[in-house]
């Protein structure tokens, strides 16, 4: 395999620095349009973006490339990533494109694709597109002049997405009387999320709903859940919801101001689905980063936790393969396959609000049932990313730590996909032991991989 443009969630980087440049985006549009063009008919592409200033640059460049390749482009403006997945399916489009760098600051941006069924592209397809983009001598198969694509704006997209979201919420329930703190991170959900919750009857206290192109994720949203937690306590709200810039992840705050991560929310939702007999194959899909307590929690209920590499698209691939309908990441990506095809922060919020309403109990009682194991994560700078199995001292260090932890703890070593960093994670029941063992293992990694 040659050089890759795409990481675990599309192409991403700092704006106007390769590869996040207008010329690469233009070629990316040409490549994707050429790859997905199939037969002598009109083809459709839906393009959405978050609120970054640079979104205009990449929206225009991608549109030019896709139209030149013979695709009709439908621009929906700032909308969450999951909304683009939904609209791609709903409009019978051949391709969906999202311009966003998710939880990153405004100076970054990214591009990711969805296929006609609303799923992220597999590695093989991304590699084919990469080959076309990076080959300077690639001969583009341009269509005839009369087959060049058109571009148009779709004005009612937010309304379509709101109806889709509300259809996932029981028709006999409302959120009347519920006070919700909502932090939209000055990102893609700044309009839709408050409207959807208000239409269901909630009193919404808004944070991060005044984007200016530069303040996306800036000291707000899912990376700064303390902001929502403070507002929950100040306003005596029932719940706090913190989204990231493209609104595909959610961090939740209970009425006492306690921050709940993706693992705790997955436990709550898995328990609810088990009670209703709705958890398909008694399986929850999560990544290698999920806390061991979640694994124990599922096992105690006669269920299975299936782990995947980091990245919500790998979670989705495993869900499709295993026939599972609930999955997610510790970071807050939550996938409800009965309703959608990708992580959806607002969809997840509606599921949590439904559970609170149906069981008429505060969130602290509902979500407090999962007691997380102490977890220590240390990022170690490394010069060489050699396979761990080729470094015996590191393997010996891991074995020593695992022996001390026994079956109530675990070790994870993982290289960062974007930095010269090895992530050393240790989990166990004793916080002091976990901290000590993580520090020892990090020293071993630094000594033998620097």
Query: 289 near 412, Cβ under 8 Å?
Result: yes
**Catalytic: 102?**
yes
DSSP 82-107: HHHHHHHHHTT-SEEEEE--TTS-TT
Residue 9 DSSP class: T
Catalytic-labelled residue, pool 100, 102, 290, 331:
102
Residues 6+ apart with CB under 8 A from 317: 122, 308
Distance in angstroms (rounded) separating the CA atoms of residues 345 and 242: 9
- Residue 102 marked as a ligand binder: yes
For residue 411, which of 392, 383, 433, 387 has the smallest C-alpha distance?
433
Residue 381 structure tokens: 């700078």
* Helix 345-359, helix 81-90: angle, nearest 10: 100
Distance in angstroms (rounded) separating the CA atoms of residues 257 and 233: 6
For residue 246, which of 393, 130, 345 has the smallest C-alpha distance?
345
- Residue 364 marked as a ligand binder: no
Query: 106 near 211, Cβ under 8 Å?
Result: no
For residue 9, which of 333, 339, 340 has the smallest C-alpha distance?
333
Distance in angstroms (rounded) separating the CA atoms of residues 242 and 252: 6
Residue 244 structure tokens: 């990231």
Scanning the structure block, which residue is given the tokens 């990022």? 379
Distance in angstroms (rounded) separating the CA atoms of residues 172 and 202: 15
Q: How many CA atoms lie within 13 A of 11 on its CB side?
A: 26
Distance in angstroms (rounded) separating the CA atoms of residues 21 and 16: 5
First to last CA, the chain: 26
- Residue 183 marked as a ligand binder: no
Distance in angstroms (rounded) separating the CA atoms of residues 181 and 290: 26
Q: For the chain, how many residues are written? A: 450
Residue 139 structure tokens: 């001969």
Binding residues for Mg(2+), as ranges, are 102, 244, 246, 248
Give the residue numbers annotated as catalytic, written as ranges. Answer: 102
């Amino acid at each position: 395999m040659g050089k890759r443009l795409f990481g675990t969630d599309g192409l991403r980087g700092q704006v106007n620095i390769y590869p996040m440049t207008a010329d690469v985006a233009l070629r990316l549009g040409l490549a994707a349009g050429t790859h997905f063009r199939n037969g002598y008919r009109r083809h459709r592409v839906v393009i959405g973006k978050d609120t970054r200033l640079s979104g205009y640059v990449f929206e225009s460049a991608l549109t030019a490339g896709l139209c030149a390749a013979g695709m009709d482009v439908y621009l929906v403006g700032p909308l969450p990533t999951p909304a683009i997945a939904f609209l791609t399916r709903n409009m019978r489009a051949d391709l969906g494109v999202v311009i966003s760098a998710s939880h990153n600051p405004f100076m970054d941006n990214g591009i990711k694709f969805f296929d006609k069924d609303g799923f992220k592209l597999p590695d093989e397809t991304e590699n084919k597109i990469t080959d076309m983009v990076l080959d300077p001598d690639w001969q583009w198969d341009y269509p005839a002049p009369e087959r060049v694509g058109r571009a148009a704006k779709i004005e009612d997209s937010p309304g379509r997405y709101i109806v889709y979201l509300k259809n996932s919420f029981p028709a006999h329930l409302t959120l009347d009387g519920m006070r919700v703190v909502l932090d939209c991170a000055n990102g893609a959900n700044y309009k839709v999320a408050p409207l959807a919750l208000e239409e269901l009857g909630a009193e919404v206290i808004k944070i991060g709903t005044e984007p200016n192109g530069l303040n996306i994720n800036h000291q707000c949203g899912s990376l700064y859940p303390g902001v929502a937690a403070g507002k929950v306590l100040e306003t005596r709200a029932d719940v706090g919801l913190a989204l990231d810039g493209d609104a595909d992840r959610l961090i939740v705050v209970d009425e006492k101001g306690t921050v709940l991560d993706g693992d705790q929310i997955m436990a709550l939702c898995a328990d609810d689905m088990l009670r209703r007999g709705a958890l398909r194959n008694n399986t929850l899909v999560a990544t290698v980063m999920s806390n061991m307590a979640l694994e124990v929690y599922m096992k105690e209920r006669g269920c299975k936790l299936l782990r995947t590499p980091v990245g919500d698209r790998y979670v989705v691939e495993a869900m499709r393969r295993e026939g599972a309908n609930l999955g997610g990441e510790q970071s807050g990506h939550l996938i409800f396959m009965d309703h959608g095809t990708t992580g959806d922060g607002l969809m997840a919020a509606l599921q949590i609000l439904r559970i609170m309403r149906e069981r008429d109990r505060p969130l602290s009682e509902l979500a407090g049932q999962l007691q997380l194991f102490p977890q220590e994560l240390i990022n170690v700078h490394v010069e060489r990313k050699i396979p761990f199995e080729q470094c015996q001292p590191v393997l010996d260090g891991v074995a020593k730590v695992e022996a001390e932890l026994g079956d109530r703890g675990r070790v994870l070593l993982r290289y960062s996909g974007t930095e010269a960093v090895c992530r050393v994670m240790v989990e166990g029941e004793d916080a002091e032991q976990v901290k000590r063992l993580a520090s020892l293992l990090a020293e071993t990694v630094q000594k033998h991989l620097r």
